[in-house]
Structure 1
């Protein structure tokens, strides 16, 4: 049975909860059951790569989706966090040979963040679709 892990940050909870809801809705609409979807919550964006790496090490998941919201602040800290997060997740994906999907958004403000949780810009939905596409591609390329 194929399984997907979803790592969700609790920081900016209103936004990340919406990302998770739309991500899960997309998987369920494609026939995935709750027993195939493992949701892990972490305090913030900084902790997402560690959780993704630990999940990848288990080799139980066809893909790992990461969901978070790193909002622009008054200092460059968000830029450093976002850059480190992206680089870390990319490395984990390549090293583990498991697709790690970036569903972490980096809006300038709360209005932009909320806009990315619905409609045509729904990043939770997009992350689930990317995971499904990469799972299919992985199976095709590996002949399984």
Structure 2
């Protein structure tokens, strides 16, 4: 079989700038997601002074802040974290869906990688599991995806 040229992103954050957008709603969960993202980026070479943390009221507001940050051309990637926990009304479906759709649009329209670390879960226990417990930390995963996509796009 012939060699196929492959593009993969190296997980090296040196020299890159990151914005992190965090919803304050369910902040006892989102703080763990923010901590995971910051820890991951610093362990891979990013400097804390090259990061900006933007706090917004909740998940619904995250896409607008991400759009403004992506459009600023100051950041190589935007990492977004939040927690939407299902309740007894359809509110969850609207917030979760619009947040995901909005962040996808930000990335596609701006060309800036957006890491999606917004939890959309049925229970508080599921949120805890995904914020650093047995389910890992989705803030870490969002930061890793954003970093990898920066490096992939640099090669395309």
TM range (shorter): over 0.9
Gaps of 5+ in 2: 1-14
Match of 1:133 among 136, 148, 154: 148
- 1:68-126 deviation line (CA, Å, top 9, x unaligned): 00110100111111111111111111110101111101111111100001145211111
- 1:31-55 deviation line (CA, Å, top 9, x unaligned): 1111111110001111101100110
CA distance in 1, matches of 2:39, 2:130: 16
Distance apart, 1:138 and its partner CA: 1.1
Match of 2:46 among 12, 32, 38: 32
Q: Which moved more, 1:51-60 or 1:112-121?
A: 112-121
**1:56 maps to 2:70:** yes
Residue in 1 that maps onto 2:102: 88
| Higher relative strand content | 2
Aligned residues: 141
Match of 1:116 among 125, 130, 133: 130
CA distance in 2, matches of 1:127, 1:85: 15
| Structure with max Cα Rg | 2
Residue in 2 that maps onto 1:12: 26
Distance apart, 1:131 and its partner CA: 1.2
Gaps of 5+ in 1: none
RMSD of aligned residue pairs (Cα, Å): 1.0
1:59 alignment partner, SS class = coil
| Length-normalised TM-score, structure 1 | 0.94
